[in-house]
Amino acid sequence: MKAYRTLKLLNRNEIDTIHNASLDILEKVGMKVPNETCLRLFADAGADVDYKTQVVKAPSSLIVECVKKIPKRYEVRPYDRKKAMTVNDGKLKGGMTVQYFINDYFKKERREGTTDDVLRAIAVGDSDDMDHISHVTDFVYPCDEPLPVRDIYGWKLGWTYAKKPIFAVYMFSINSVRYILEMAKVVAGGEEELRQRKIIDYNLESTSPLSFSSHALEICLEFSRYNLPLSNSPMVMAGASGPVTLAGSLALCNAEVLMAAALIYLMNPNIPYGYAGIPYIMDMRTTLCSFGAPEQVLFSLARIQLARYYGFAAKAEVGANDPVLEDIDPGDSSLPDFQGGFEKGVRSAMALAAGAESVGGFGMVGADQGVSLDQLVIDNEMMSYMTRVRKGFEINEETLALDLIKEIGIGGSFLGARHTLRHLRQEHWFPKIFNRDRWETWRMKGGKDTLDRAHVQLEKILKDHYPPEPMLDKDQIERLDCIYREAKRALIPKK
């Protein structure tokens, strides 16, 4: 725990300044809340509500009170109870991203995902080889299923096969959400069990600057009926949907995160909320919303401090709608090359030093450009490395080994000492795919780079774990099938 929570970018005064700026934005400008029920909730709580423009101006006292009281810690209990996970418990976590495209680093091509891609991803992410992935996703959309029900099918796949908690699958509309929550009840074992086990969450993703979308609010209200975790990760783009200056975009992003917390608390005071917002730099030449820019490192450090300031686990959006994650979007590089490794490495190392609880976006290619299972294997390796750094080292009589140093004396060797054997595997980290061969040995083994070696490991994992076995019993599977059939009948337009 040594190399942890020590790095601080902002001083207390600067954090207060950002916080007050956010409150000022919410009080003077407010946010657009396009939903009658939500507007009424704000009005009843004493906010200034304009029903015509659907704009809510919230007094600072209301925001502060709600943010203070909203639950910030919760446990997710997936099918395999051993893989349960507590958000905000200080333990390091890593999670997968979910994207539209799947990329092939070797051919440098990408295509839409399929059901089979989802199954392969779950098989890999769920495996014990991916020991730093605490929660999985579908990784890609199963585009072989019809669009209006694709999200429902995605959750069905995830719940059927994933042993680890499954997050961030995506939800398209209130129509599909109703079917997804019906499935959730079957998977959890009932309505009350769903409330307890929290196997699904939703991220509002307000549209910056300062607007919620009506479909997200509808989904949010539906989730609030079951005490399910919610979060909001606006993607303020500095210079486009927020001020070009970092401080301004940070204050704006923070305002939207706080407003969502207040709204959710007013809906239902038992809903856990995650601090999940980070602004982005938009590259003004390509319009790419950058994940790897140096400014993202700064945003990330500031955001972690803000989250802690409010008592959250400094969770963060990571390119996917994942509220339990902490930091680290991947970089902007299209390949796992030097740029990619550098961006990810710098960002994650600094975030962890600042006290990030969780790292995410595993398997992502570039900035939201798709996914790669090879990348997932590489990211797990990076996380394994980071975990070792975060662990630090103990200083005590046994680890100082003064007696041993005296015993071995001048010119001796520690190789054969029992002390070496006893501590080696805890003290030293061993890579699975990073290279530690000398040049000639490396050449002899085929001169493989990180990607090549990751691919070898990936093939092995797939051989061992694919196709995945269903985790649900026959009755549950049948009930999910039935709900899905109903959804298809209701939601797919007749030709």
Residues at the site binding another protein, with contacts judged by CB under 8 A: 100, 111-112, 141, 147-148, 170, 172-173, 207, 211, 213, 215, 239-240, 244, 282, 284-287, 368
Distance CA 169, CA 157 (A): 10
Q: Which is nearer to another protein, 286 or 396 (CB)?
A: 286
Nearer to another protein, 115 or 213 (CB): 213
Given a contact cutoff of 8 angstroms between Cβ atoms, the answer to whether 258 and 26 are in contact is yes
Minimum distance of another protein from residue 170's CB (angstroms): 8
Q: Which is nearer to another protein, 74 or 170 (CB)?
A: 170
Token readout for 169 is 């699958």
Q: How far is the CB of 190 from another protein (least distance, A)?
A: 30
CA trace torsion 296, 301, 306, 308 (10° rounding): 140
Q: Looking at beta carbons only, is 105 or 170 nearer to another protein? A: 170
CB of 127 to another protein, least distance (A): 28
* Cα dihedral 203, 204, 209, 215 in deg (nearest 10): 150
For the record, the structure tokens of 364 come out as 């992502």
- Residue 3 vs 174, nearer CB to another protein: 174
Cis peptide before 209 (omega within 30 of 0): yes
Q: Is 63 exposed, middle or buried (0-12, 13-18, 19+ CB in 10 A)?
A: buried
Minimum separation from the CB atom of position 153 to another protein (A):
14
If the CB atoms of residues 244 and 405 are measured against another protein, the closer one turns out to be 244
Q: How many CB atoms lie within 10 A of CB 88?
A: 22
**Least distance to another protein, CB of residue 287, Å:** 6
Shortest reach from residue 139's CB to another protein, in Å? 14
Pick the closest to residue 89 from 325, 357, 348 (CA basis): 357
Phi, psi of 319 (to 5 degrees): 90, -20
Residue among 211 and 268 whose Cβ is closer to another protein: 211
Phi first, then psi: give them for residue 160, nearest 5 degrees: -70, -35
Integer-rounded Cα radius of gyration of the chain: 24
Nearest distance in Å: CB 147, another protein: 5
- Residue 245 CB, shortest distance to another protein, in Å, is 13
E-strand stretches of 254-312: 273-275, 280-282, 289-290
Question: Which residue number, 17 or 207, has a Cβ lying nearer to another protein?
Answer: 207
Would you call 417 exposed, middle or buried from its count of C-beta atoms within 10 A (0-12, 13-18, 19+)?
Answer: middle
Residue from 337, 408, 315 nearest 95 by CA? 315
